[in-house]
């Protein structure tokens, strides 16, 4: 029988208390989220992949573990075998075996080939989601991503957290 | 559209559109090397762009990690992963570190760390 989803907020809050950390400042957004209707059919849309699993490619600087708010631009014609992960807060075993589990680049390239989506932006955008300061995410990472999505002429953004 | 494997966290963040895939963390877009499942997950996810009408709604995807749900009790996040946080980049391989030092792809990095061994040592000492 199906079990209910894992309650991560409750279990992490309990774990922090046990380790003697101050409580983590979970983000609760109570306002209605902004809404932009899709303006054209999927098969005409240019899709931007945005992933927070610490993906970089061989030759790029990796991520660090102390509130790293930087971004990487991954060319969407990247060779899958050049993809790497650098993240301290999830088990990277499967992501390193097949990056598509957190960075579905081959999946999306396949759907472009099928004509299911129109295409991909020139670059995917990646970062390392283990940033403890939600203020820095709001003030640094998020605006940089938004700016880049506009520069890439994305019709829609697909966000893949871990 | 946000994909998610953490329903409570996504509810709290309240993004415009989300799909929930009830998989262990680190597998938001599927199982390793299972191309068919990865494709099905992505087709369901992208199709939701054309069917979702209500801001803040979350669509649950019809996939199951395994018939056995014991992974949900595996104690996610039991360890202490907050120790040793530094600004030194963590490379997957030593070879990556050498390649990055050549700096050929620096333009693909936005607001990257300017960490160097010397600066890192100074900070630790301070």
pLDDT digits (tens, 9 = 90+) for B31-57: 999 999 999 999 999 999 999 999 999
Of A5, A15, A32, the CB nearest to B22: A5
The closest of B115, B15, B24, B116 to B69, measured between CA atoms, is B24
- A44 interfacial to chain B (CB closer than 8 Å): no
CA distance A54 to A98: 14
With a cut of 50, say whether residue B126 has pLDDT above it: no
Predicted confidence at residue B125, as pLDDT, reads 42
Longest dimension (CA), chain A: 52
Q: Are A121 and A48 within 8 A, CB to CB?
A: yes
Residue A61, min C-alpha distance to chain B (Å): 5
With a cut of 60, say whether residue B62 has pLDDT above it: yes
pTM value surpassing 0.90: yes
With a cut of 90, say whether residue B74 has pLDDT above it: no
pLDDT above 90 as % of chain A:
91
- Cβ within 8 Å of residue A64, ≥6 positions away: A128, B86, B87, B88, B89, B90, B113, B115
Predicted confidence at residue B113, as pLDDT, reads 73
Which A residues, 94 through 153, put their C-beta within 8 Å of a C-beta on chain B? Answer: 94-98, 100-104, 106-108, 110-111, 116-117, 123, 140, 144, 148
- Predicted ipTM > 0.90: yes
For B45, the closest chain A residue by CA position comes to A158
CA distance B90 to A101: 20
CA distance A88 to B85: 9
For the stretch A20-42, what's the b/e string if a residue is b when 16 or more beta carbons lie within 10 angstroms of its beta carbon? eeeeeeeeeeeeeeeeeeeeeeb
Predicted confidence at residue B75, as pLDDT, reads 64
- Cβ within 8 Å of residue B100, ≥6 positions away: A59, A60, A61, A62, B89, B91
Of A66, A101, A123, the CB nearest to B26: A101
A41 with B50: Cβ contact below 8 A: yes
Residue B125, min C-alpha distance to chain A (Å): 17
């Amino acid at each position: 029988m199906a079990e209910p989803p894992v309650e991560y907020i409750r279990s992490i809050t309990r774990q922090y208390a046990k380790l003697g950390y101050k409580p983590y400042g979970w983000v609760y957004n109570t306002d209605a989220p902004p809404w932009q209707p899709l303006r054209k059919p999927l098969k005409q849309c240019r899709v931007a992949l945005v992933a927070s699993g610490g993906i970089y490619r061989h030759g790029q600087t990796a991520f660090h573990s102390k509130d790293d708010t930087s971004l990487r631009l991954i060319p969407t014609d990247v060779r899958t075998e050049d993809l790497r992960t650098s993240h301290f807060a999830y088990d990277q075993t499967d992501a390193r075996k097949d990056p598509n589990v957190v960075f579905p680049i081959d999946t999306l390239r396949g759907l472009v080939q099928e004509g299911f989506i129109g295409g991909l932006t020139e670059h995917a955008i990646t970062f390392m989601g283990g940033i403890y300061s939600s203020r820095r995410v709001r003030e640094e990472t998020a605006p940089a991503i938004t700016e880049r999505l506009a520069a890439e002429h994305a019709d829609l953004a697909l966000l893949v957290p871990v | 559209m946000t994909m998610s494997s953490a329903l409570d966290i996504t509810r709290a963040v309240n993004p415009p559109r989300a799909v929930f895939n009830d998989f262990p963390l680190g597998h938001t877009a599927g199982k390793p090397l299972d191309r068919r499942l990865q494709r099905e997950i992505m087709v369901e996810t992208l199709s939701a762009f054309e069917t979702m009408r209500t801001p803040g709604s979350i669509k649950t995807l019809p996939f199951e990690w395994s018939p056995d749900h014991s992974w949900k009790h595996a104690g996610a996040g039991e360890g202490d992963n907050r120790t040793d946080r530094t600004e030194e980049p963590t490379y997957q391989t030593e070879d990556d570190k050498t390649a990055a030092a050549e700096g050929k792809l620096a333009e693909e990095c936005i607001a990257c760390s300017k960490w160097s061994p010397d600066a890192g040592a100074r900070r630790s000492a301070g």
